[in-house]
Amino acid sequence: MNKVMLLGRLTKDPELKYTQATNTAVCKFSIAVNRKFSKDNEADFFNIVAWEKTAEFCGKYFQKGKQVVIVGNIQNRSWDDKEGKKCYITEIVATECYFADSKPVESSDSKSELDVMLEQESETLPF
């Protein structure tokens, strides 16, 4: 079985492109994943590639510094460069991508409709 789950922060904004032949969306980015037992805040960096709808989602909503969860599989591939030298890369092919940051705290000036209703309700209580 080849499945990987990573929790990390984007190291730069994702690059969304479309293939020439089939106009398929492909998004590439990298994330930094902290090592669990590191005293020096060491991290491992992983190259991620997403395709189609997942690629469009990542390209539209992900930004440098955001914490994300990536689910996918590890892929090795190789190619010959312009000089004929063999090049290799290991990357994560993302099948699922999620936000992992907590939602921003609302300022005290902007109360939700529910907060306003609860305040009004508490003013009418006899205790």
What's residue 41's pLDDT? 83
pTM summary value:
0.76
What's residue 69's pLDDT? 97
Contacts 24+ apart (CB under 8 A), 16-20: 16/55, 16/56, 16/58, 16/59, 16/60
Q: How far apart are CA 9 and CA 46, in angstroms?
A: 10
Alpha helices (runs of H) in the chain, residue ranges in sequence order: 52-61, 113-123
What's residue 36's pLDDT? 85
What's residue 121's pLDDT? 55
What's residue 112's pLDDT? 57
Q: For residue 63, give both structure tokens.
A: 């930004």
Can you list the residues of the chain whose pLDDT is less than 70?
103-127
Listed by start position, the domains of the chain span 4-123
CATH of 4-123, one of 2.40.50.140, 2.60.40.10, 2.60.40.60, 1.10.8.60: 2.40.50.140
